Structure 1
Amino acid sequence: MLAGKRILLIIGGGIAAYKCLELIRLLRGQGAQVTPVMTRAAEEFVTPLSVSALAGEEVHRDLFDLTKEAEMGHIQLSRVADLVLVAPATADLMAKMAGGLANDLASTLLMATDTPVMIAPAMNVRMWEHPATQRNLKALQGDGVRVIGPNSGDMACGEHGPGRMSEPLEIVEALRAALAARPLAGKRVLVTSGPTHEPIDPVRYIANRSSGAQGTAIANALRDLGAEVVFVTGPADAARPLGVQVVEVESAREMREAVLGALPVDAGVFAAAVADWRVASASDSKIKKVNGALPVLEFAENPDILAEVSQMGDGRPGLVVGFAAETDDVQAHATAKRKRKGCDWIVANDVSPETGIMGGSENAVLLISEEAVEEWPRMGKAEVAKKLAERIAEALSAG
Structure 2
Amino acid sequence: MVLTKLSSIQKMEEGTIVTPAGFQAAGMHTGVKRKRHDLGMIYCDVPASAAALYTLNAIQAAPLHVTKASIAEEGKLQAVIVNSGNANACTGAQGEEDAYTMRREVARELSLPEHTVAVSSTGIIGLDMPMDKIIPNINNLKLSGEQKDAAAFNESILTTDTETKATCYQTEVDGQTVTMAGSAKGSGMIEPNMGTMLAFVTTDAVIEPAMLDIALRQATDKTFNCITIDGDTSTNDMVLTMASGKAENESLTPEHKDWPVFVDLLEATCEDLAKMIARDGEGATKLIEVAVNSAHDDTQAIKVAKTVVASPLVKTAVYGSDPNWGRIIAAIGRSGADVNPVAIDTSIGTVKLIENGKPLPFSEEAVSDYMLNEHVMISIDLNVGDGSGQAWGCDLTYEYVRINASYRT
Larger Rg: 1
User: Which TM-score applies when normalising by structure 1?
Assistant: 0.32
Tell me the TM-score normalised to structure 2 length.
0.31
